[in-house]
Structure 1
Amino acid sequence: MRTRILDWLFAATLAGIAAPAIAQVQAEHGSIEQDYREERLEGLQARQQAAQRRSWRAPDWRPEPVVSINLLSVNDFHGQLSPRAVAGRPAGGAAVLAAYLKAASNESTLIVLDGDQVGASPPNSALLEDEPTISFFNLLANPHCRPFSRQMQMPRSVQPFAQQRCNLIGTLGNHEFDDGRSELLRLHTGGNHRKGPFLEDEWEGARFPMVSSNVIDQTTGDSLLPPYSIYYREGVRIGVIGAVLKDTPSIVSPSGVAGLRFIDEADAINQSVAELRRHGVRAIVVALHQGGQQTSYEGPTQPEADTVTGPIVDIVKRLDDDVDVVISGHAHGFTNALVPNANGKPILVTQAFSAGTAYSDIELVVSRRSRDIVEKSAAVHTTWADQGAGLVPDAEVATLVAQADARVKPLVERVVGLAQGALSRSETPAGESALGNLIADAQRVATDAQISFMNPGGIRADLDSGEVTWGELFAIQPFANDLVSMDLTGAQLKTMLEQQWSGQSYARLLKPSGIQYSWSASRPVGNRVVEMRDATGALINPAATYRVTVNSFLAGGGDNFTVLTEGTNRVVGPVDLDALVDYIESLPQPFGAAVEGRIQRVD
């Protein structure tokens, strides 16, 4: 029987690791021989019976010694430490999610976090700079996991081998860049925030590895994080490659991605695949923060399921044949399908909604002979809090969440106003929403502008009727963007409105205040706006100058509204949330807002 130490040294030799580097890894993890348990040889009959439950089997499969691997994945958690409602029932929350993941885990389990672990988070995470969310995931890590900061200090050639027995790995989503590279690295590698300390006297950062292959430091030309990690499970090697959507710069404030270059997802992944092959790795999983949509269903992967749509399809089509599984995210939807690449290789693609309300349970069978994945299947499970594992939330995680709640309670529970009815961010067919109108009005009043616009992606929750607390408003506007006032001509306003469709993967209809306009879907992109009028009803004059307020994300050209970077006489005003709080407090109570026809669709 091959020993673990020989298996590791073979991979290390292929990687070109020198003796001092090997010694460094050994120092981090103790004796490699002791760190690995003996291989457990199980009967072929038991393996074959398990294989009957798999949804895909390699065409050349034959009975042979195999290893079963379990992946549990969570995408788009967004700091959702507390439960939320799904179809009228409680689901998710960190303690409930932990209970489900631990119940589903075994000795071969690897938990994969697919990006947007943080960002757009509720107050009990965001007000503490999302440290409680990383602390939650640290509690899922096994004793073999080490601080990510130590891994980042190692030579780059060693980093993929540095956490071979850790049961947890994460990749980056677009929201990890909300506060820029420095904060991204601080959160994951340690060091107290300037507002801290919070729940820990000295913030240590993540106790698990992070990978991302397509985010490049423009100065060094290297990837910001290790592009992949190599794991050993029962004598087989598994490579996990990370990637984030290449369009991240268009949906994040420019300051958040300064000095970084986002390259094509498939190109970066395939480059990492080639490197993994050189390390003798054939079983390859991709954690990709980009996704698509599919009609949801329960149970194992159905080869005949509805076709997947969205950006993920084109990316998968271009992936190398050695990619076996793509764990996807970003779309906050469901995916459990076999999507073919250009050569017809079925690649298992999963996505488990968002906010910890579900997880993907992926079962893999790896051949000891070929070292490749020969069978694979998945199921997406909802983390109901009122049944199953959710009935007994994880006690240690629940204590952490309670500590975070207590820290932010005085501010979160402050009553700001009284809503006479619920206000929704849901759009009319024209693109208007009652909650969007309220926010846009607040921003215009706060800056004494003529016109203001709010981007729909920045409105993260609806507002219930009754007492309105600061915490509820924070959940609606969690990004702490500054308001920026600028001068734009009427012609530039027209260009900005046309950019709602131009260069967008889907229409992003801004929520206006102080302006009314109509548009036609039958007209070509770039000429869809029919008419624009100001608050007095006068037509917008292309040559006139107007004072316009947007948030700092839009002001920097976010969401491809590039014309806003041309605005002149810029003045930075209050934070968007402060403007909303002040505006609601100034209104007669109870207050309300409605769809008023500010945006009209003429066909």
Structure 2
Amino acid sequence: MKGALNGNAIRKAVPALILTTVFSAAFVLDSGRPETTGISHSIETGQSRIHVQLLGVNDFHGQLNVTREVNGRPVGRGDYLAAYLKERKAENKNTLLVHAGDMVGASAPVSSLFQEEPAIHVLNKIGFDIGTLGNHEFDRGTKEMLRLIRGGFNQRSEYFIGAGFPYLCANVLNAKTNSPIFPPYKIMKVAGVPIGFIGVVSDDTPSMVDSKAIEGVTFIDEVTAINIAVGELKDQGVKAIVVLAHISGKQSSRDAAASGEIVEMAKLVDDEVDVMFAGHSHSYLNTEVDGKLLVQAESYGTAFSDVDLEIDPVTKEIVSKIAEIVVTYHDAIKPDPEMKALIEKYETEVTSVVDEIVGTAAFDITSKRNENGESTLGNLIADSERSMMNTDFAFINPGGIRAELQAGTVSYEELLTILPFHHHLVKMQLTGDQIRQVLNQQWQHDQVRMLQVSGLKYTWDERKTGSDKIVDLYTDDGTLVVPDKTYSVTVTSYLANGGDHFTAFQNGTNKEMGPIDVDSFKEYLKQFNQPIRSFIDGRIQKVR
């Protein structure tokens, strides 16, 4: 785990910023779940225990009108998520709605084309109580992130009111003042009992965004920041503590072992922490590690976390905690009418921009990678970028592809959902040896990021140790890539700047800026011999 910073120095940088609120809500019985009044009797103390419900969302990414599938059933969308949260909230008057970051960024056009204001507006309407930052909140820069949350003007929109609930973040500091840009924690009183909430975002965020986007802020170690905040909460008598952490963690099922940075963090944070909401990895998580309940509810509003707590009103301690990850199946509920109308309003406003038809897909072309690491959509996009910039090779980072190309008519809206970041294409020169370095950087300390390629074929061997898993490199006609020969390469500006730890791209020479990636993709598809097709053709091969 990362080394801790000097505690006294950080304690000075993370002052106590406490805002206390009293939460109450109307209570409605729901025959679909156990009835509760928010209290139960405790034999141990003779007092009534307080039942608190925390409903959590992570990595929504402004997917207001995007439907996905789980088990062959439609899921997601802001109006269905709102309906589920409203239904669950009505079951317990002691309910708080929380989120663990990445509510914006990589968003659908109905949010991204309006500077992400629609996503925040929907969160306000749903009634979220508290949240934290994710790395994608920084996509448009710190200044714009602060405007979106606190309210204000920008050059493209009128005044926006901002988030109607507080954001917390203990480990992002103003570089000049060394103080947090948001309160590190907040005390919420539920039925008279104080619950402390702490927010953190991955300190690896600088590797995930353009360096200009985080000018003026610094990121410190998450565990250090959490433990300092816990200490200050404990000094104020708070014994029920929840962390909202945009930190990755995952399980393949409820009974499977959990992995990821949040698991290691749970072992290091103060034992007064009871619950940690995770994010970033877009995965399932519902387990207990070192006495802390860890949850993550997939992504894109396809699920949410329902954490049920019992608190002793005398000791103020959480004495019981259990969680459920709830999938937002459309066929089990009706969409919230207010949210549905709001989303349709935004859809109408962007129609003239996004309804352009660019072609027809013969079948679903997906970003799902096979066991070698290759995907049909990755191949198609990489081919488009290589063609536009007329280079020998092209590389696409997998995190840049955010949706699938579905069979049938293809609109510009679909392309904007697939490639939502609007990165420029960059042409550069790399040697064969530098290309090998790039490909070996796919194996990182916590995950594997398989680049999608065009014009190149290569083999890799997972049995090789260290950072040298690439075996052979060829051009697409079967010619070996020569280590000291120079080749022309296309990447996005994100990769050109070393994003996702692909620092070898920073060594590229003779860099030339090209068009926006999604516009390049649109023009490529419009010129495609219809219908649009893409196949797995052995560009990436795993040695067996």
TM over 0.5: yes
Alignment of 1:572 with 2:513, yes or no, is: yes
Q: 1:488–1:548: 8 Å Cα contact kept in structure 2?
A: yes
Q: What is aligned with 2:218? A: 261
- Residue from 213, 216, 240 that aligns with 2:197: 240
Alignment of 1:427 with 2:369, yes or no, is: yes
Alignment of 1:75 with 2:58, yes or no, is: yes
Worse-superposed segment, 465-474 or 550-559: 465-474
Q: What is aligned with 1:162? A: none
Q: What is aligned with 2:259? A: 309
Cα distance between partner residues in 2 of 1:51 and 1:324: 21
- Taking every aligned residue pair, what percent have the same amino acid on both sides? 42
Question: After superposition, what is the alpha-carbon deviation per residue over 1:371-418, rounded to whole angstroms, capped at 9, x for unaligned?
Answer: 22122222222222222xx22x22222221111110112222211012
Alignment of 1:448 with 2:390, yes or no, is: yes
Q: Which ranges of structure 1 fall in alignment gaps of 5 or more residues? A: 1-14, 39-45, 53-59, 142-166, 298-304, 341-345
* Greater Rg by CA: 1
Q: CA shift at 1:511, angstroms? A: 1.1
- Residue from 122, 142, 147 that aligns with 1:181: 142
Alignment of 1:326 with 2:310, yes or no, is: no
Q: CA shift at 1:539, angstroms? A: 2.1
Q: 1:51–1:375: 8 Å Cα contact kept in structure 2?
A: no
- Residue from 295, 316, 324 that aligns with 1:350: 295
Cα distance between partner residues in 1 of 2:505 and 2:456: 16
Give the length in aligned residue pairs.
518
Letter of the aligned partner of 2:68 in structure 1?
A: R
Q: CA shift at 1:508, angstroms? A: 1.2
Matches within 5 A, 1:196-215: 196-197=157-158, 202-215=159-172
Q: 1:253–1:554: 8 Å Cα contact kept in structure 2?
A: no
Residues 381 and 429 (structure 1 numbering): CA distance in 2 closer, same or farther, change over 3 Å?
A: closer
Question: After superposition, what is the alpha-carbon deviation per residue over 1:354-379, rounded to whole angstroms, capped at 9, x for unaligned?
Answer: 21122212222222222221222222
Q: CA shift at 1:81, angstroms? A: 1.1
Matches within 5 A, 1:388-427: 390-391=333-334, 393-427=335-369
Q: 2:41–2:48: 8 Å Cα contact kept in structure 1?
A: no
Q: What is aligned with 2:30? A: none
Question: After superposition, what is the alpha-carbon deviation per residue over 1:124-151, rounded to whole angstroms, capped at 9, x for unaligned?
Answer: 111112111100111133xxxxxxxxxx
Letter of the aligned partner of 2:102 in structure 1?
A: D
Residues 384 and 600 (structure 1 numbering): CA distance in 2 closer, same or farther, change over 3 Å?
A: closer
Q: CA shift at 1:47, angstroms? A: 8.8
Q: What is aligned with 1:294? A: 251
Cα distance between partner residues in 2 of 1:16 and 1:360: 29
Q: CA shift at 1:295, angstroms? A: 4.1
- Residue from 96, 114, 134 that aligns with 2:120: 134
Cα distance between partner residues in 1 of 2:178 and 2:278: 26
Letter of the aligned partner of 1:583 in structure 2?
A: Y
Cα distance between partner residues in 2 of 1:96 and 1:472: 20
Matches within 5 A, 1:275-294: 275-294=232-251
Question: After superposition, what is the alpha-carbon deviation per residue over 1:55-103, rounded to whole angstroms, capped at 9, x for unaligned?
Answer: xxxxx95443433222111111111212433222222321222122122
Q: CA shift at 1:234, angstroms? A: 2.0
Worse-superposed segment, 205-214 or 444-453: 444-453
Q: CA shift at 1:207, angstroms? A: 0.9
Cα distance between partner residues in 2 of 1:61 and 1:171: 36
Matches within 5 A, 1:465-484: 465-484=407-426
TM-score (norm 1): 0.81
Cα distance between partner residues in 1 of 2:24 and 2:389: 64
TM-score (norm 2): 0.89
- Residue from 328, 331, 334 that aligns with 1:383: 328
Residues 478 and 49 (structure 1 numbering): CA distance in 2 closer, same or farther, change over 3 Å?
A: closer
Matches within 5 A, 1:26-37: none
Question: After superposition, what is the alpha-carbon deviation per residue over 1:510-560, rounded to whole angstroms, capped at 9, x for unaligned?
Answer: 111122222222222332222222244332222222211100111111111
Q: Which ranges of structure 2 fall in alignment gaps of 5 or more residues? A: 1-14, 26-35
Alignment of 1:488 with 2:471, yes or no, is: no
- Residue from 78, 95, 100 that aligns with 1:94: 78
Q: CA shift at 1:246, angstroms? A: 2.3
Q: 1:173–1:289: 8 Å Cα contact kept in structure 2?
A: yes
- RMSD of aligned C-alpha atoms? 2.5
Cα distance between partner residues in 1 of 2:38 and 2:533: 63
Q: CA shift at 1:482, angstroms? A: 0.7
Letter of the aligned partner of 2:482 in structure 1?
A: N
Residues 591 and 37 (structure 1 numbering): CA distance in 2 closer, same or farther, change over 3 Å?
A: closer
Q: What is aligned with 1:499? A: 441
Cα distance between partner residues in 2 of 1:595 and 1:88: 24
Q: What is aligned with 1:523? A: 464
Partner SS state of residue 192, structure 1: strand
Q: 2:41–2:49: 8 Å Cα contact kept in structure 1?
A: no
Letter of the aligned partner of 1:111 in structure 2?
A: L
Alignment of 1:219 with 2:176, yes or no, is: yes
Letter of the aligned partner of 2:141 in structure 1?
A: G
Cα distance between partner residues in 1 of 2:497 and 2:316: 48
